[in-house]
Amino acid sequence: MRKLTQTVTALAFAASAGLATAADVEVLHWWTSGGEAAALNVLKKDLEGQNIGWKDMPVAGGGGTQAMTVLRARVTSGNPPTAVQMLGFDITDWAKEDSLANLNALAKKEGWDSVVPEALQFFSKHKGQWVASPVNVHSTNWVWANKSVLDGLGIKPPQTWDELVAAMKKVKASGKVAVAHGGQAWQDATIFDAVVMSTGGPAFYKKAFIDLDPKALGSDTMKQAFDRMSVIRGYVDDNFSGRDWNLATAMVINGNAAFQFMGDWAKGEFLNAGKKPGRDFLCFRFPGTQRQVTFNSDQFAMFDQGGKVSQEQAALASAIMSPTFQSAFNVAKGSVPARVDVSDAAFDDCGKQGMKDLAAAAKSGNLFGSMAHGHANPASVKNAIYDVVTAHFNGEYDSSTAIEELVSAVEISR
């Protein structure tokens, strides 16, 4: 019944926009891991049920860096995809180029304004117009742990940096890998999100990553955060370079490694492998960031097809915003709904905690956009920070050099 209603709504919307015959919807995305693909399938099925064909345009590469390169090439050659998965300031950048379709009529009809939190609307809207529909809220400051590895070594989830270091030491001494990590710039930066928050606290995170205050970027606190990255570097295995994030998650799933510091898309991999939170794996906030949430939200932007929103685009946007879809999709993805009116009933304990943490952080002023995932700065600044963090992680810079480089890289990129 819901699908029928959606179809009718989408058709009515398309008709009122003076449109066009049904066609496939071409969706550019980077959801290629097992857990991500399982979640995406929920969306594909939803559209299939509305007789809308799905033309898949996957571009592998966590965090979406490669996908954004492909998108730029497609747009430059005059052949943009119908719909594109996008993060934060990338949406704003494309909206500024006047490339995105205006979804206002649909948003108004479906009342998006009253159910999508401000922090997400900041990215979904440009100059007051809806230009993207948010599918989820992820957060980056999580630890994923193998329960039996921890139990076997008598390790409790660490609550502080010192406890984390002690736990990593114990795991390494046992011959297992303490930290499963993939050496790719966005993964290094994902850990840095959490380490900076933990080291400097929320006011410092904001000054450094959101306000881009050179004093914060070049401070002793930032130097200490880099020192902590070096400590973590001592607990990854020798083969970490270039490893995809989901292969790192698999090391925790298989019990070869104890911890992964990663956004909650990692949970999708555990679930896809048939694992249960509390029984097989544990999720907890990165030590010292228990009250904070560094978030990113996957949104779908529709590329303007000559000033109109096509029927398929409207159907896709409408499907994404439906409360039942937001529940089903996010249960599989590891994220939490982008709508505030979706019940947590279908979610596991990690998902329930994610929803609670998000609401509490928003209320207490502890919710911040993730630097690593394009919600603190435009891509130019983000990439400049990536370069420094990765060079330091790989031993090219010591921490003193890293803060100097960070200040100048950010300055140049602005």
The correct pick among 40, 87, 178, 180 for binding ligand GAL (CB under 6 A) is 87
Binding mask 223-252 for ligand GAL (x = CB under 6 A): ----------------------x-------
H-state helical runs in 111-213: 118-124, 147-152, 161-173, 185-205
Give the nearest distance from C-beta 91 to ligand GAL in angstroms.
12
Residues whose CB is less than 8 angstroms from the CB of residue 269 and which lie 6 or more positions away in sequence, other chains included: 33, 34, 35, 246, 249, 250, 253
Q: Tell me if 35 sits within 8 A of 246, measured CB to CB.
A: yes
Interhelix angle 311-321/34-48, nearest 10 degrees? 120
Query: Closer CB to ligand GAL, residue 301 or residue 407?
Result: 301
Query: Closer CB to ligand GAL, residue 204 or residue 209?
Result: 209
The correct pick among 63, 182, 288, 369 for binding ligand GAL (CB under 6 A) is 63
Nearest-angstrom CA–CA distance, 366 and 382: 21
Q: Kindly give the pairing relationship between strand 257-261 and strand 177-179.
A: parallel
- According to the binding rule CB under 6 A, does residue 142 interact with ligand GAL? no
Place of tokens 């270091």: 165
The residue range among 30-38, 111-119, 176-184, 283-291 that interacts with ligand GAL, by the rule CB under 6 A, is 30-38
Query: Closer CB to ligand GAL, residue 64 or residue 158?
Result: 64
- According to the binding rule CB under 6 A, does residue 138 interact with ligand GAL? yes
Give the nearest distance from C-beta 335 to ligand GAL in angstroms.
7
Q: How far is residue 81 CA from its own chain's centroid?
A: 21
- According to the binding rule CB under 6 A, does residue 30 interact with ligand GAL? yes
The correct pick among 17, 47, 62, 293 for binding ligand GAL (CB under 6 A) is 62
Total residues binding ligand GAL (CB under 6 A):
13
Give the nearest distance from C-beta 29 to ligand GAL in angstroms.
8
Query: Closer CB to ligand GAL, residue 204 or residue 329?
Result: 329
The correct pick among 373, 375, 382, 392 for binding ligand GAL (CB under 6 A) is 373
The correct pick among 65, 133, 296, 399 for binding ligand GAL (CB under 6 A) is 296
- According to the binding rule CB under 6 A, does residue 36 interact with ligand GAL? yes
Whose CA is closest to 118, among 97, 134, 138? 134
Report which residue type is found at 155: I
Nearest-angstrom CA–CA distance, 199 and 336: 26
CA distances for 367 relative to 46, 69, 370, angstroms: 31, 29, 9
Cα torsion angle, 275, 31, 195, 180, sign: positive
Binding site for ligand GAL (CB under 6 A): 30-31, 36, 62-64, 87, 138, 245, 265, 296, 298, 373
